[in-house]
């Protein structure tokens, strides 16, 4: 069993290479489109390693949830996948040490689109694992465990008029972080439009006095996906409060929820 396990693990790539492959430019291509419309563009892939590298490119769908889980199923796995709209070339790159290669892409909406709102997918850029000799091949007791880092370029399209644009607060918890309160809230996109809300909490004391605003940052959330936002309440004194948690996408879409807090 040990010999078989060693053979499997030693066949994988060396982890030192993975971080040497970088996609240059924006990792999100976001377009508002009409049926039959197409967009084109390019991005560059750079090899910062000391050796030449082979890189493969392929499409995947992308789903994520507030618990930290991520899924990259095959293209077309859900009704809001636009993976079939994306073509690119080349599908494989050979990049010399210190070199840069260009990838061209086309995003073409079909002549008839039944789904309105946001659709998305991701183009994966991944070093080929079989191009390296494992360092520990001389002993079955020394296992070379590999982590291959792949980079995704997201393709997001907004098409037509979505019937619903909606975020819901589906969970909240209060924890202690290094002696300071940390409020965590889960936000789910239950509408048809992808949004990138900035989330913050307005804190009020028992007399209705505003204590302050505490920000959690901004994250992109696609329909059917959810995200967890962490709000540092570090300077709020102990006591009873009310938190108005707000998600604002900056485009006239604002959602809120009220939470009681006992610090």
CATH code (residue 51): 2.60.40.10
Instruction: Select from 124, 159, 194 the last residue of a domain.
Output: 159
Partners of 167 in beta bridges: 189
Predicted pLDDT at 144: 62
Asked if the model's pLDDT at residue 219 lies above 90, the reply is yes
Based on the domain organization, do 147 and 216 belong to the same domain? no
Same-domain status, 222 and 248: yes
The domain tally of the chain equals 2
**Four-point Cα dihedral 146, 73, 189, 215, nearest 10:** 10
Same domain assignment for residues 144 and 216: no
Q: Are residues 107 and 197 in the same domain?
A: no
In a shared domain, residues 80 and 21? yes
- Residue 143's pLDDT band (cuts 50, 70, 90): low
Residue 149 pLDDT more than 80? yes
Q: What is the pLDDT of residue 177?
A: 87
CB 23 within 8 A of CB 153: yes
Tokens representing 41? 């563009």
Q: Which residue range is the domain that position 219 belongs to?
A: 167-262
Per residue in 160-212, pLDDT tens?
999 999 999 999 999 988 888 999 999 999 999 999 999 999 999 999 999 99
234 and 123 inside one domain: no
Tell whether 131 and 13 lie within a shared domain: yes
Q: Give residue-wise pLDDT tens across range 10-53.
A: 333 333 344 699 999 999 999 999 999 999 999 999 999 999 99
User: Is residue 65 over pLDDT 70?
Assistant: yes
Q: What is the pLDDT of residue 241?
A: 96
What distance in Å separates the CA atoms of residue 54 and residue 127, rounded to the nearest whole number? 6
The residue out of 118, 139, 159 marking a domain boundary is: 159
Q: For the chain, what is the mean pLDDT?
A: 88
Same structural domain for residues 154 and 174?
A: no
Q: What digits encode the pLDDT tens for the residues 70-119?
A: 999 999 999 999 999 999 999 999 999 999 999 999 999 999 999 999 99
Q: Are residues 220 and 103 in the same domain?
A: no
Give Cα 68 to chain centroid, integer Å.
10
Same-domain status, 121 and 154? yes
CA dihedral for 84, 32, 190, 163, sign (positive or negative):
negative
Q: Are residues 62 and 171 in the same domain?
A: no
Same domain? For 137 and 194 the reply is no
Domain boundary residue, one of 159, 194, 229: 159
If we measure between CA atoms, which residue out of 151, 186, 163 comes closest to residue 60?
A: 151
Q: In what order do the strands lie in the sheet with 92-95?
A: 28-33, 151-159, 117-127, 53-60, 92-95
CA distance 104 to 44: 9
């Amino acid at each position: 069993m040990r010999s078989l396990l060693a053979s499997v693990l030693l066949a994988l790539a060396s982890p030192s290479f993975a971080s040497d492959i970088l996609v240059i430019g924006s990792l999100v291509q976001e377009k508002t489109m009409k049926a039959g419309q197409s967009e084109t563009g390019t991005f560059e892939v750079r090899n910062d390693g000391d050796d030449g590298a082979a890189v493969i490119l392929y499409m995947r769908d992308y789903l994520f949830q507030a618990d930290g889980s991520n899924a990259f199923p095959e293209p077309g796995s859900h009704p809001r996948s636009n993976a079939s709209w994306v073509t690119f070339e080349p599908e494989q790159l050979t990049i010399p040490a210190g070199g840069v290669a260009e990838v061209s892409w086309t995003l073409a909406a079909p002549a008839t689109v039944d789904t309105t709102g946001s659709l998305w997918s991701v183009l994966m850029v991944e070093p080929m694992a079989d191009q390296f000799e494992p360092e520990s091949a001389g002993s079955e007791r020394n296992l070379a465990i590999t982590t291959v880092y792949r980079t995704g370029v997201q393709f997001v399209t907004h098409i037509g008029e979505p019937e619903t644009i909606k975020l819901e607060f589906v969970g909240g918890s209060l924890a202690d972080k290094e002696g300071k309160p940390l409020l965590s809230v889960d936000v789910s996109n239950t509408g048809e439009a992808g949004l990138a809300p900035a989330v913050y909490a307005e804190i009020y004391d028992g007399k209705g006095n505003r204590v302050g605003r505490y920000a959690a940052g901004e994250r992109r959330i696609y329909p059917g996906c959810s995200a967890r936002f962490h709000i540092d309440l570090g300077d709020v004194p102990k006591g009873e409060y009310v938190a108005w948690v707000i998600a604002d996408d900056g485009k006239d879409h604002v959602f809120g929820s009220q939470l009681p807090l006992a610090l």
